[in-house]
Amino acid sequence: MNSIGIVGIGSYLPDTVVSNDEIAHRAGVTGEWIVRKTGICERRRAAPHEATSDLAAEAARRALTRAGLRADQISYLVVATSTPDQPQPATAAIVQNLIGAHQAAAFDVNAVCSGFVHALRVVERLLVGEDGVSPYGLVIGADIYSRILDYSDRRTAILFGDGAGATVLGPVEPGLGLLQSSLVTRGDAHRLIQVAAGGSRHPASADTLAQGGHYFRMDGRGVREFVQETLPKEVRKLLHQAGISAGAVQHFVPHQANGVMLAELWPEFGLERARLHLTLKEYANTAAASVPITLAELDRTGAAQPGELVLIAAFGGGMSIGTNLLKWSLGAP
């Protein structure tokens, strides 16, 4: 079996920076309150002309440049997003056209904020058995939550930013790359996070617009309890399946949901020797993009070295949880 790992990575954050003070008043809070409750200081906002596909395409171009590959060398292109350009077609098809990846099968994955982790596993499995001349896949996490927020709702308006991150997957040296993944869904808790209107159950109408049904809604307390109950357990399960001790992990990259919550959870993971990587102070919660954006920071800063163990853990609506364990492959000869 081939070893598949990350051979290129890139991210794109829109130019517009939005401070806490710019959104605090409408949410009925202060900028200081946002920092104290979330650890977030600012976030990026997509320009009016930018759609999710635009952010995804730019992150993809940067990842391809880092990998030294052309877009037409990609066999699979998957976009993880819960804010697609439009209901149909898949945003991945639009990205495929934008970057010229015309040989790639393209489709979307929606596991909300854990979508990138799910997509990473899907494409890795596709590439393991790839016998063709182009055994490369492009996995992108991209979201523009600024378009679906109710800015009077302090539970959600303060948390999110816009952005995209992309990874190119391909053959790596034996022993490197993706070692283990675990994907879990708890559909009984699906109402904790949702956009209720705009689908087949509640089609768009004047009533759904008036009722705010197209806004993102979240039961913050319920989500926190769900994450506290399930995420540390899933991390321990992944490490057990991989036969790796917690003390061997050098880097931990979680979904960048809330810095205060992650600080409270940190002791529960048992990763005392690992470095916790956070980018939410500057970028906030970028949904499916938060993990690849943070991985791109590891690459940009040289924080992770080839062969070091990186553990990824994300959670999102559904409720979904995804974990990956990989041996860092970027920079390997």
Question: d(Cα 146, Cα 289) in Å, to the nearest integer?
Answer: 14
Which residue in the list 118, 251, 255, 277 is annotated as catalytic? 255
Residue 175: pLDDT above 80? yes
49 among known catalytic residues: no
97 among known catalytic residues: no
Taking only the tens place, the pLDDT of each residue in 112-159 is 999 999 999 999 999 987 666 579 999 999 999 999 999 999 999 999
Which residue in the list 113, 118, 251, 277 is annotated as catalytic? 113
Question: d(Cα 140, Cα 79) in Å, to the nearest integer?
Answer: 5
**Above pLDDT 90, what percent of the chain?**
96
Residue 188: pLDDT above 60? yes
The residue-averaged pLDDT of 246-275 equals 95
Could you tell me the domains of the chain? 4-174 (3.40.47.10), 178-327 (3.40.47.10)
Which residue in the list 20, 110, 258, 285 is annotated as catalytic? 285
255 among known catalytic residues: yes
